[in-house]
Homo-oligomer: A and B are copies of this chain.
Amino acid sequence: MARKASLSGFPEWLPQERLVELHVLDSLRRTFELHGFSSIETRAVETVAQLLRKGEIDKEVYGLHRLQADEAEGKGDDKLALHFDLTVPFARYVVENAGHLAFPFRRYQIQKVWRGERPQEGRAREFTQADIDVVGDGELPFRYDVELALVIVEALSALPIPDFKLRVNNRKLAEGFYRGIGLTDTAGVLRSIDKLEKIGPEKVAALLQEELGATDEQAQAALKLASIRTEDTSFVDQVRALGVQHELLETGLAELEEVIGEAHRRAPGKVMADLSIARGLDYYTGTVYETVLVGHEQLGSICSGGRYDALATKGNRTFPGVGLSIGVTRLVMRILGQEFATASRHVPTAVLVTLANEDSWSQAQDVAGQLRERGISVEVAAKADKFGKQIKYADRRGIPFVWFTSVAEDGSHSHEVKDIRSGDQHAADPASWAPPAEDLVPQVTPAAH
């Protein structure tokens, strides 16, 4: 991360950095699969009509045109554009393939997305998201809202990142509360509350009064609700103490209590009720999630999501869903930038098989093949340079072992392997030798802090 991207907003990694990213991706995949999520990928492009389906949109979209196309071609809604998240494409995929999927359908999806926004710290124009969602046909038990929080906590806990907090709120709770105090433009209130962290409570109160016609008392009540944060279910009493009555508020309280209660038992300290979480323009209808790295709150949310009553519809069929999206690139940039983790070496190679002379290349390939059969990554030297030069080749790459084969006058072969870090050199049999477990593949380990 000392290097600057050659194209602003489009980060690329060196091989040793890519090993860290691969470690994150492999770890996420493993957790998701252990919890029964199926992998899917969707195409990178959607029609513009599909992307703008929900009307108002706060994402900058990249449209596509063929360089060699006629001017007349591809105007209008069937024009193509790059997806800006994985939720819109997933909703389309579910509708198109509903007849082939078993509901509730659990999927993970790890892909790049593109947004033409101004690049800044933690915000790239091309970045990788890792999403999990469960989507039902007609109905989806609330319990999935609890389960997905727990899966994400497990997934994030397996990564080489600092401590994190998954902050959970519930739109029904907030909307019921606003209605209970007489504020009916609940979307407007949510949009104002969403600015709390950025502009502070006084300015939010002013917004509520100026833009939504709230009284000072209403504005203060909304701010009081947003100030409630608890790691256990004590938020319920705190909300009740505000003395607001509304049926939707009760439903929201019960739902959030279920998430926080279970999460507090199963993942203490990782999940909290945070009644300020609003999630801006996103069309959630119940649970909403955000996640911050403790001590890195200014990085923004590294994992967000929530519940949709209707992730997608098809005729009179409705597909409710709940899911979360991890900002993989944002995380990896931070891991690399702060050296939270490093790879034990830069290359997959564990062993370089040296050449005693130019004619021994094919025989060296035999040795390499025997080692590879046991999962050992091996390169064979391309030239019979002096051994010192061949060892230097391994050393420059961080390849830990070099292999020497010598042929006796009777045609018999003898082998030795040298650990170039320690200098230890021993006789070895290509049919049985293996490096220590920690040298078999590059290890990505959290730095000691």
A interface residue numbers (CB < 8 A to B): 3, 6-7, 10-15, 18-19, 22, 33-45, 47-48, 60-69, 80-82, 92-93, 96-97, 100-102, 104, 106-107, 112, 114, 116, 126, 141, 143-144, 147, 150, 262, 265-266, 346-349, 361-362, 365, 372, 375-380, 382-383, 396-397, 399, 441
A15 with B38: in contact, given A43-B7, A116-B66 (CB under 8 Å)? yes
Chain B residues positioned under 8 Å from A81 (CB to CB): 67
Docked-complex contact A107 and B15, CB < 8 angstroms? yes
Closest to A37 in B: B348
Bound Cα distance A45, B144 (Å): 37
Bound Cα distance A390, B66 (Å): 50
19 chain-A/chain-B pairs, Cβ below 8 angstroms: A12-B43, A14-B97, A14-B101, A18-B39, A37-B348, A44-B126, A60-B66, A60-B68, A61-B68, A62-B65, A64-B82, A66-B116, A67-B116, A102-B346, A102-B397, A141-B382, A143-B382, A150-B365, A265-B362
A38 with B348: in contact, given A7-B43, A66-B61, A362-B266 (CB under 8 Å)? yes
Q: Chain B nearest CB: distance from A193 CB in Å?
A: 26
Closest to A89 in B: B12
- Complex A-B, nearest 6 residue pairs according to Cβ-Cβ distance, in ascending order: A36-B349, A36-B379, A15-B38, A66-B116, A10-B43, A33-B348
Docked-complex contact A43 and B379, CB < 8 angstroms? no
Closest to A355 in B: B143
Q: Chain B nearest CB: distance from A85 CB in Å?
A: 15
Docked-complex contact A102 and B396, CB < 8 angstroms? yes
The one of B11, B14, B104 in contact with A100, judged by C-beta atoms closer than 8 angstroms, is: B14
Bound Cα distance A398, B4 (Å): 48
Chain B residues positioned under 8 Å from A101 (CB to CB): 14-15
Other than the given A60-B68, A62-B65, A150-B365, 18 more pairs (CB < 8 A) read: A6-B92, A7-B43, A14-B97, A15-B40, A18-B40, A18-B41, A34-B375, A34-B378, A35-B377, A36-B379, A44-B44, A62-B64, A63-B66, A66-B116, A68-B116, A102-B396, A144-B382, A265-B362
